[in-house]
Structure 1
Amino acid sequence: MTYIRKNLFVSSCSHLYNVNSFQTCALSNKICNITILLNSYAAYRTCIIENLFTDADYVVFDAVNGLGNRILGLIAVTTYALVTSRVLLINWQPGDNHQASFEDLFLPLSLSDNVPFYYQYSLPRLANLVKNRWMNEIESKTKNSRIPIDWAFYFDREILCNNKTYKQSWFVQFGFYILNFISHHVKWFRTDQYFVPLLKRNEKTRQAFITLFQNGQVFSELATKLLHPVPKVNSIIKDFQTKYTLENKIITIGVHMRSWSANMINHIEPFQKCIEHVIKNVSKSDKDETKIHLYIISNTRQRRQKLENHISNIYKNLKILNSPEAPETANVVEKMQYTLAELLILSKMQHLIITSKSTFGMIAQGLAGKGAWIVRQGASHEIQTIKSDLCEWESTSEPEYQMMGSLQVNHTCSQYATSLPSIGERTII
């Protein structure tokens, strides 16, 4: 009787949002857009969570290291939740080089301004479905078990591969049947990757994305609607804007310079040349007459200051916008709030120069919803392989996702394939 009552309850929520809602909204002859879709999903999610119903289908985002990685992973998993009509749960706790909780940085997750809902949920309620977090451990065992690295997406291969069927041995198929039976209600993603491009591999789903998201800007649409900074972060941004009155006639250039090792402090040439290139392209008059404001953020203060001083000596009319810095007495949470404010300010600059493969740069560009100049000086091993003067324009604002092998050029998957694109934590970079 309890089981029947629970299923009746799910039915009472499913009219708000279901597995067909994403494509139905995209194909609807009536007015339906991403805002309406998000409102519907918010109502459905609230309906399930407020009644503490654990037999619904969930997807858990398990946050990993670093603020940038967490934001990219959260938006990707949220997109997955919208496509599959799963109820999103967020496990965003301090740790892994990130000493702040979700609520320290953002308001309770809201899919619209008028329909707030609680993102917090008692994860122990799912303990009977997720034993010892075995899903997180499975990737390390793939070599011996023959389980595809991307086991989490295996059960959703119809989304990725146009309903192609994988040819596996009966033993492997039976193993996946057991895993699917155990974990049907819960998908647990521990990821730092923006795997949204994978969700567009299926033709029908891809068309829905094109219809719902103008110019393909999924990240910009969802991040601006989902992530609302806490008042402290907004206050830091407001103080910065008050200090520097930015007029339209002033050229503002934002730079994110990622340092991958302490040995890169003196390695500023790629960014110096890119800044010079951008100023040359955007200035409408002589460089000594054009007002230019330069805003640089970096995880290495000495490197940032070295670049600021060098550029200031070249352009006498250039003004450095000092990024907000947390007071010396600030605790770890306050420092993270300043870091978030620093990132959001970067996204407000007119022109962006970012480091390749850097999540902060990807997020700033994604929030801005516009192209950026990319300095191909990413991971430390690239210093020897990338020309120091390479400064490339990237028109898309979607964060980068690196597919491997033939998957880079094909939108379908071979029926003989044994694995799918990676959505787990990066092992390179």
Structure 2
Amino acid sequence: MDPSMTRTRKNAQQLAQAEALLPSSTFPLQEGDPEAAPTEIKSKEDLHSLSCHLLHHHHHHLLHHLHHQQSLHLRSFGKPSVRLCLLLVFVVLGTFFFLPSLLSSSTLQLKSLHDSTSYAQHQFGDAENDDFTLGGLLAKESATTQCQSRGLIHRLRVRSPYTPSPDLITKLRDYEALHQRCGPGTKSFNRSMANLELAFNTEGRHEVDGECRYIVWLAHSGLGNRLVSIAAAFVYALLTRRVLVLDGRSALGELVCEPFPGEVSWLLPHDFTPLLTLTLNQSSPYKFGLHLQQGTLLPSVRDPPEEDRKSLFHSSSASQPSSLFSYIHLAHDYDFFDKLFFCDKEQASLHQIPWLFLGSNLYFVPSLYLYIPEFRQELNRLFPDTDAIFHHISRYLFLPSNSVWSWIMRYYDAYLSKASQIVGVQIRSFVFPPVVHPHLAQQTLRCAEENNLLPKIAEVEGRETPLSPRNATALLVTSLLPDYSEQLKKLYADHPTETGEVVSVHQPSHEGHQNTQAHGHNLKAWAEMCLLSFSNKLITSPMSTFGYVAQGLAGIKPWILTAAENGEAPSSACSQLVSMDPCFHAPPYYNCDGNKGDDTSKILPYVKHCEDVEWGLKVFPHTPA
């Protein structure tokens, strides 16, 4: 195994033990799995250390008290009596015999009195060698937050080879200060919101706070799409010095921690008036693309290419531009005029508008590079490792909430913590309802064996395997269906591996179908993305934002399964991605400078078609000149 990909299992097991302090979880243990067992702290060394500390503390006070009593006794009665000496001996011996038992019986009470994060940090010892800030990506002040995963989750992941740039670190600290001045609940926010509400009822321009401008993210599609679009929205916020706030009705606050240090949330209140009163969708009269189409925002109207005219959305609404707000539609069904958001002149017209409402389910970062020179220059400055944009942003923004973290750690402790390596497999079918593809389990196994991700299954039955301790690999499968993991589990149960290495197969859940509106479904999906991010090696499905999130959090380039054609198994099982950044599934094919249709994969050498989606765009590794 590559040493750089090795996890410190001692630390991982200590972390799992420390996380036994978390509230009890409802995450189901796998039925029939012999590894399933209740989790508890079993460190005798820790108990002994704590016992010695308390004994020393207790004896110190006891001797002090006895010395004081003895002085009084001597002053009053002379030498101590035999009865008093016997009493002292009994107290001291009783302390030695009964205190350890008392400590053992009250372990649970001691657990409940300790904060889980501080206890886990105590378990790991020297904090100087453990950089929870990820090279400065996270603020040091983050350690004081109530998010239990913030200082711990990185210890279960392979060490990232990517270091955030000094410019990105500075930009993030500046953004955090801006968010504290302008975010929900602040005086600036309340004043700006009052002006916005006033604009709904009256005409004319109202007072605008020059410092506080906002990008309001609206929820679209499944959790994977939501997370990649939030990351893209945050990149846009950094580029335009806007404050990112999320629709509070999305329930994202129950899944992830508050990312920014301080008291100001990034979630809008549920009763945020604009989201309750405005029509914000493709047919909205406030849509930026409609303003451009009807010529109510800019004096000239671009003529769409022939191929784009067929997909124009013809709205029956009259454009209603406002100096205070605009709706940006960047979802998969957007049309030519919506896509002009990525052109320099049209983008400049948004600068003075304080409120932008964004409806998106796409990772649109690649197109921010193409026709807006100011954005391109800033992106290259902030992200010199161009294929690590989502890696840094996802690790910065998306930390599991305490309830999700409890799920994750209980599952990890029960099934994954003892493995020397974790191989993650994410299988996604886009057919609804999901159907089992008979070849997929074999294709996954072929991919793993051909690329040395898993030990090969021995062809000879009854082959002797060593009795000495062997490496154990945990194969973590995530899928809506249980069939693939069951097939893989049977293969490894019926056949030994050529190396004698043990492979155990685990699947946390199998929901059957995607149910984006169900909180429990989203919670499991997010927990599984995080579990996959603990992988040393990763196999994912093409076009899946679920896989994009996992690989970005992990910081590794996965092997992606080759899509089947006509229902037949492909000749090549999989191929490794060159770039781990997500794919922009629906990019514009328009040359803003030449006012014509164009292949936008040829504008820059590091923005090209995706490996898994031939019409998509993604950012590839590139060293800026």
CA drift of 1:267 comes to: 1.2
CA drift of 1:134 comes to: 5.8
Cα distance change, pair 237–144 in 1 and its aligned pair in 2 (3 A): closer
1:282 to 425, 432, 452: 452
Cα distance change, pair 272–287 in 1 and its aligned pair in 2 (3 A): closer
Matched, 1:89 2:241: no
CA drift of 1:361 comes to: 0.7
Letter of the 1:387 counterpart: P
Q: Residue 589 of structure 2 contacts residue 599 of structure 2 at CA under 8 Å; is this kept in 1?
A: no
Letter of the 2:506 counterpart: N
Letter of the 1:191 counterpart: S
Q: Deviations over 1:361-385 (max 9, x none)?
A: 111111111211111338xxx5558
Q: Residue 453 of structure 2 contacts residue 537 of structure 2 at CA under 8 Å; is this kept in 1?
A: no
Aligned partner of 1:105 in structure 2 is: 255
CA drift of 1:419 comes to: 11
CA drift of 1:60 comes to: 1.2
Distance in 1, matches of 2:373 and 2:549, equals 27
Aligned partner of 2:279 in structure 1 is: 132
2:393 to 219, 222, 233: 222
- After TM superposition, the structure 1 stretch with the greater mean CA deviation from structure 2, 283-292 or 269-278, is 283-292
Matched, 1:305 2:452: no
- After TM superposition, the structure 1 stretch with the greater mean CA deviation from structure 2, 197-206 or 135-144, is 135-144
Q: Residue 42 of structure 1 contacts residue 116 of structure 1 at CA under 8 Å; is this kept in 2?
A: no
Distance in 2, matches of 1:306 and 1:273, equals 12
Q: How does 1:359-398 map to 2 (within 5 A)?
A: 359-377=545-563, 383-384=566-567, 387=570, 389-398=572-581
2:217 to 41, 61, 74: 61
Q: Deviations over 1:363-418 (max 9, x none)?
A: 1111111211111338xxx55588264411102110111355756xxxx6343248
Cα distance change, pair 319–127 in 1 and its aligned pair in 2 (3 A): same
Letter of the 2:413 counterpart: T
2:235 to 56, 79, 97: 79
Q: Residue 220 of structure 1 contacts residue 369 of structure 1 at CA under 8 Å; is this kept in 2?
A: yes
2:264 to 114, 117, 120: 117
Aligned partner of 2:359 in structure 1 is: 190
- Among the aligned pairs, what percent are the same residue? 21
Q: Secondary structure at the match of 1:397?
A: coil
- After TM superposition, the structure 1 stretch with the greater mean CA deviation from structure 2, 66-75 or 269-278, is 269-278
Aligned partner of 1:347 in structure 2 is: 533
Distance in 2, matches of 1:264 and 1:134, equals 28
Q: Residue 136 of structure 1 contacts residue 188 of structure 1 at CA under 8 Å; is this kept in 2?
A: no
Letter of the 1:333 counterpart: H
Larger RCO: 1 or 2 (CA < 8 Å, sep 6+): 1
Distance in 1, matches of 2:546 and 2:454, equals 29
Q: Residue 152 of structure 1 contacts residue 187 of structure 1 at CA under 8 Å; is this kept in 2?
A: no
1:210 to 373, 380, 392: 380
Distance in 1, matches of 2:456 and 2:488, equals 22
CA drift of 1:237 comes to: 1.7
Letter of the 1:222 counterpart: I
Which TM-score applies when normalising by structure 2?
A: 0.50
Aligned partner of 1:240 in structure 2 is: 411
Aligned partner of 1:33 in structure 2 is: 167
- RMSD over aligned Cα, in angstroms? 4.1
Distance in 2, matches of 1:251 and 1:159, equals 51
1:322 to 477, 495, 506: 506
Cα distance change, pair 36–269 in 1 and its aligned pair in 2 (3 A): same
Which TM-score applies when normalising by structure 1?
A: 0.70
Q: Residue 589 of structure 2 contacts residue 598 of structure 2 at CA under 8 Å; is this kept in 1?
A: no
Aligned partner of 1:200 in structure 2 is: 369
Letter of the 2:280 counterpart: R
Q: Residue 265 of structure 1 contacts residue 302 of structure 1 at CA under 8 Å; is this kept in 2?
A: no
Name stretches of at least 5 consecutive residues in structure 1 with no aligned partner.
1-30, 95-100, 164-176, 422-427
Would you say how many aligned residue pairs link Structure 1 and Structure 2? 357
Letter of the 1:58 counterpart: Y
Distance in 1, matches of 2:476 and 2:169, equals 33
Aligned partner of 1:47 in structure 2 is: 181
- After TM superposition, the structure 1 stretch with the greater mean CA deviation from structure 2, 196-205 or 127-136, is 127-136
Q: Deviations over 1:14-62 (max 9, x none)?
A: xxxxxxxxxxxxxxxxx94322211211211221131123244221110
Distance in 2, matches of 1:129 and 1:65, equals 19
Distance in 2, matches of 1:132 and 1:160, equals 22
Q: Secondary structure at the match of 2:548?
A: helix
Distance in 2, matches of 1:122 and 1:61, equals 13
